[in-house]
Amino acid sequence: MFMNNMWFKKLFRRKAPDENTSLMDTGISVNTNVASGSVSNLYNDATRGAFNVFDVQQQHDPEKTRLVFVNDEMANVKYGFCDNSIKTTKYTFYNFLFKNLYQQFHRFANCYFLFMALLQTIPGLSPTGQFTAFIPLCFVLICTMCKDAYEDIKRRVSDKVTNNKLTRVFRDGQFVEVFWKDVKTGDILQVYNKEPFPCDIVLLSSSEHQGICYVETSSLDGETNLKIKRCKHETTYLSAPEALKTVKAILECEKPNNRLYKFEGTLVLSTGKKLAVDPEQICLRGSSLRNTDFVIGVAVFTGHDTKLMMNTKETPHKTSKIERMTNQLVFIMLAIEILLVIICDIGLIIWTARNKSAWYLFAGVVIDADYLAWSGFKGFFTILVLLSNLIPISLYVSIEAAKLVQGIMISKDLAMYHEDTDTPAMVRSSALNEDLGAIQYIFSDKTGTLTQNKMDFLKCSIAGEVYGSGITEIAKAAAKREGKILEDTRPLSAKNNPNFQFYDERLMDGAWKDSPQKNEILDFLILLAVCHTVIPERSGANGEIVYQASSPDEAALVKAAKYLGVEFIARSPNDVTFSILGEEKQYQILDIIEFSSDRKRQSVIVRNTEGQLLILTKGADSVIYPLLAPNQEYMDVTLKHLDQFGDEGLRTLCCAKAYLDEEEYAQWHRDYEEAKTSLEDRTRKVEEVAARIEKNLLLVGSTGIEDKLQEGVGDTIYELRKAGINIWVLTGDKLETAINIGFACDLLNSSMTLLVVEGHTNEAIKDFIEKSINTANMNNISHDALGLVVDGERLIHILEDPALKNLFLLLSIKCKSVICCRVSPKQKSDVVLLIKQNVSGNTLAIGDGANDVAMIQSAHVGIGISGVEGLQAVNASDYAIGQFRFLKRLLLVHGRWSYRRVSKLVLYCFYKNTVFFLTQLWFIFFNGFSGTTLHDKWTIALYNLVFSGIPIITLAVIDRDVPAPAAEKFPELYFQGQKNRFFNPRVFIYWVINSIFQSVVCFFVPYFALVGTSFLDGQEIDTQTIGIAVYSCVLVVITVKLSIETSSWTWVTVLMYAGTLALWPAFIFIYGSIYYIYPHPVPVVKEFYEIMQRFRLFFAPQFWFVLLAVTFICCIRDIFWKLWLRAQSRKLYYDIQKHHKKKSREDIMEFFPFEEGLPVKLKKKKKFNPIELQEIKKIFTSIAKVDYRGFAFSQTDNQQDLIKQYYSGDNATNNGQQKTTTTTLTSDEQKKDTNM
């Protein structure tokens, strides 16, 4: 047999050709008639010019289809196909300056300050100099520009990594390596095993016989089960360079579009023969070749024309919620400013009219209506410039600077560093830091994000006995939350076996053959070894059998049977071969009744070695149990075991069998064949006929498979839900897979009623949703008692109908968990937008594959998981992390800190500017509304940039109200961001009122205390000196206020706060000293001299008395208010601040039993007893399927036909045992492959 296998290998397996390989050296020389005949036709047709290009072009409609000339670069040039490079950057080198400034001036505040700076340049109009406003404005613009450039450079580097990957392209008669970006439409490519496809290609040939190859599409649709693709028979032998050099063909196909699962095209050969091209022949960018030495294909869509990129939106410009609110506040402050300017301008006109007799002011001027109008017009702009800084010019640059440093700190956090993949957290858009602290909806991909997609056979139930001692991750997490520790009792050999995690000494090493239930166990293992569509292959020199499965579940079950003594060896179209403890057996395969989403089961009809007819069936317990013969011994106990498995997060299925009567089967078989060939309503007829034979089954057993979660997923989801975050799962997987993972990661549980949206028309879906909503409302059913599942087919109807969309939205809000399955990338994006546009609260989308890019870009915040499925998701994301579990720290710690810090920063910026520039307003009432400034122009210019700007950035970067461990330990604190407790209109009004009060104190106390007084040498304290006193009072008051708002003190905090205060008198001294440095002809020397004279103020005792009095009056209320809150408040927030250093959570909860201030849904929730749960399920029974535990078949609809073709042909008799290829991919192997 082994020799036959080697012959089979030589016959059908071909090595990857190189430029020196002839057609006869490619491994097909054994079958020369077929090979040389097919290829020679292509050669001859090409050379004799039978290819009529003109006719094809004449028939081509460029509006509907595109023409691709195979291996003819010159012919494709005129069509202007895009290149194969991808770009996720926002800027280019030549447009950066203009585009960035254009985007910055979309901010109203920047336009406002530009206008003020221009006003300031008009002679005689500005009281604060002509060009001082340009300095802070340019500083703000340059800082923001540097930050944007830094982040865009990071995106450019990621794009470069992708674009500079290597692939092999056929040029000049040989395959040469080129960068991905250099691939052109029409190029012939060669892709090797484990390599990703650089573009969308139409298959021409494969190293596998019958032109079959295996493709992994996890980056596209989230499924890691391998898909079978097949070349057209007429192009199968186009693999040798000699054949490829002369091939001439035109591919006419659909225009670029985002439909991942559809493709229509025609390949016109040189003979004029037309070959229909469909999805079976196309391999998309984002997918990878697996278990196939190589394939050769022609590039049909490249770069941004690929289906993957067509599902990707242009990198959007996102703004945070606080920034949007800040923009609104800027308009409000502008309206207030204009109102104040109008009031002052009216005051100017009235004062001028009343004092027109003052000859020393209006000498030689006639005060008439025209003069008053001109005075009012000029005065309006003068006062507007004077009060312009009520809107803080440093606001946005302070925000940008703080966020940039926050982003660096996130990137450097070792607690979010994934050591296995050497992946730190990455901040790609720090503009959204604070939104991380106010997330209310998380939309998560499944494969690679929540799960490893590694299936482990962990437990089974046979004849009323449970076998298997493994512990699932979800069981461990549940026990941990209850304060328990579950010990894994398996021996080390079982724990460390990467291929088989199951252990039970009663079944291992053939021990079951001595069991009293050995017949039942053998029936169970035979069913696992026979009832499937797995392909066995031999790998390596020792010919070890490995399994090529279209579903990781199928592989796990067949592998379990193998390790327990019943090894599946080979299959042909008509039989399967397996061994029982080394003894070979062969069953004849008579019929396969395939799985479908409606049937939720799979059956195989076989004839065993004794000649008996058997039907072997496996599927979801909800569909198998109604098919069982009544009154069987182990039905009830097995059902309990299924519930037990489900509670542990295992994916379950039932196994059953039945003996068939020959005559009954013969009649059924004829009906079944007739149904399969029916041209009308084929699916329904096949299912009806199948149901006739799947009856009176005997229960064989049940299985529990663990879909391995990513590390820490269960705990992360649990903590995030405690934080009040709603979690949705959006996946391309099938319904059963999605539901199973929902149970596995505790999104769904046995206490919930599961609503699965049904109906194939708008009316049917609407009826289902309305009934569900009405039932929930009428019975006052809790949010925690309902889960919702909807698939892509129903979502098409829902998202296209506004009425249905609103109903779906209402129903989803009533459910604790929502799972959307079989959804395309665009549907993922649409679902995110549905919530984003209709529900208050921030949304977050997280995924790791190219199919997640659209939703990542649609959400308020997009998170990419790096390292497994490429860089597409990372490149499109705002933040990137190595594992889903790091999301907890990113949100609960960094997100919450950033939200609080940025909130304080924005409020403080408005506060400090209001305090300072209102002193200018009060002074206007003492100078005849003339617009004379109280402060020096350079001190005004430096107020925002230096004296008040540096301390607040310090707080916005390093201040922590609670330490990281406390923020993670108490997810309830997160609600402060969700409820906007730190930043809302009420809080803003409080800060503004406080700033108005403090500005009054800071102006009037120094003014009335110092006016008319003198220094010790008798020189009178003039108005400008009072201005310095007022300036000093303002700086001290706002710094003390900032100190009150500071929660954590470090040496950096002390240095920045104290340093800026000390910098103020130092600046006055240095500024005034210029008088003594420069000679007297300097034009501004008088100003320097005056400043130096006023420096004496800091040595005047009355100044210090005033300073202390002002500080006490302004800040004493805030100090006592903070102290009272911390002493008397019953809120958990303050209690944690007081006790986190010396008390655990349990101690705190005992000390503080009332969680006042928390949202209602975070308080103690209603617990349903089992009777209530059953009643809820009964309520929904009429409209919903409430019990879902099912085996997640992942086989595509035509998979069985392709498998049959795989074994058909001249060598069908050699069957699968003689084929040699690489191994089937487990999840671990997939990860290793991806990382290689």
Q: Tell me: is residue 472 an annotated ligand-binding position.
A: no
Provide CB contacts within 8 A for 140, sequence distance 6+: 110, 113, 393, 394, 396, 397
3-state secondary structure of 269: strand
DSSP 714-774: HHHHHHHHHTT-EEEEE-SS-HHHHHHHHHHTTSS-TTSEEEE---SSHHHHHHHHHHHHH
Query: 């190595």: which residue's tokens?
Result: 882
How many Cα atoms are found within 13 Å in the side-chain-facing hemisphere of 987?
Answer: 15
Q: Tell me: is residue 595 an annotated ligand-binding position.
A: yes
* Rounded (5°) CA angle 740-741-746: 105
Element (H or E) spanning 826, and its range? helix 825-838
Provide CB contacts within 8 A for 992, sequence distance 6+: 910, 911, 914
Of 763, 759, 769, 766, the residue nearest 814 (C-alpha): 769
Element (H or E) spanning 458, and its range? strand 451-462
Q: Tell me: is residue 919 an annotated ligand-binding position.
A: no
Q: Tell me: is residue 878 an annotated ligand-binding position.
A: no
CB 857 within 8 Å of CB 842: no
- Residue type present at position 56: V
Distance CA 12, CA 1081 (A): 97
DSSP 622-666: HHHGGGBPSS-TTHHHHHHHHHHHHHTT-EEEEEEEEE--HHHHH
Please, what's the b/e burial string for 158-193 (b: 16 or more CB within 10 A of its CB; e: otherwise)? bbeebbeeebbbbeeeebeebbbbbbbbbbbbbbeb
Q: Tell me: is residue 822 an annotated ligand-binding position.
A: yes
265-269 β-sheet, strand order: 65-69, 249-254, 265-269, 274-277
Strand partners, 545: 538
Q: Tell me: is residue 554 an annotated ligand-binding position.
A: yes
Write phi, then psi, for 778 (nearest 5 degrees).
-65, -35
Q: Tell me: is residue 499 an annotated ligand-binding position.
A: no
Q: Tell me: is residue 194 an annotated ligand-binding position.
A: no
How large is the angle between the packed helices 108-120 and 369-386, nearest 10 degrees? 130
Examine the residue annotation and report whether 305 is marked as an active-site residue of this protein: no
CB 561 within 8 Å of CB 1205: no
Dihedral, 754, 756, 762, 766 alpha carbons, nearest 10: -10
Distance CA 486, CA 477 (A): 9
Q: Tell me: is residue 509 an annotated ligand-binding position.
A: no
Distance CA 1197, CA 1215 (A): 23
How many Cα atoms are found within 13 Å in the side-chain-facing hemisphere of 780?
Answer: 2
Terminal Cα-to-Cα distance of the chain (whole angstroms): 35
- Give the active site residue among 159, 445, 746, 959: 445
* Cβ-defined contacts of 802-806 (< 8 Å, 24+): 803/766, 804/762, 804/765, 804/766, 804/769, 805/834
Q: Tell me: is residue 651 an annotated ligand-binding position.
A: yes
3-state secondary structure of 148: helix
DSSP 1096-1126: GGGG-HHHHHHHHHHHHHHHHHHHHHHHHHH
By the 10 Å C-beta count (0-12 exposed, 13-18 middle, 19+ buried), 403 is classed as: buried
CB 137 within 8 Å of CB 131: no
Q: Tell me: is residue 711 an annotated ligand-binding position.
A: no
Distance CA 292, CA 206 (A): 8
Query: How large is the C-alpha radius of gyration of the chain?
Result: 38
Per DSSP, which regions of 361-430 are E strands? 426-427
Could you tell me which residues are annotated as the binding site? 445-447, 554, 595, 618, 651, 731-733, 822, 828, 848, 851-852
Annotated binding residues for Mg(2+): 445, 447, 848, 852
What amino acid positions are annotated as catalytic residues? 445
Binding site members for ATP: 445-447, 554, 595, 618, 651, 731-733, 822, 828, 851-852
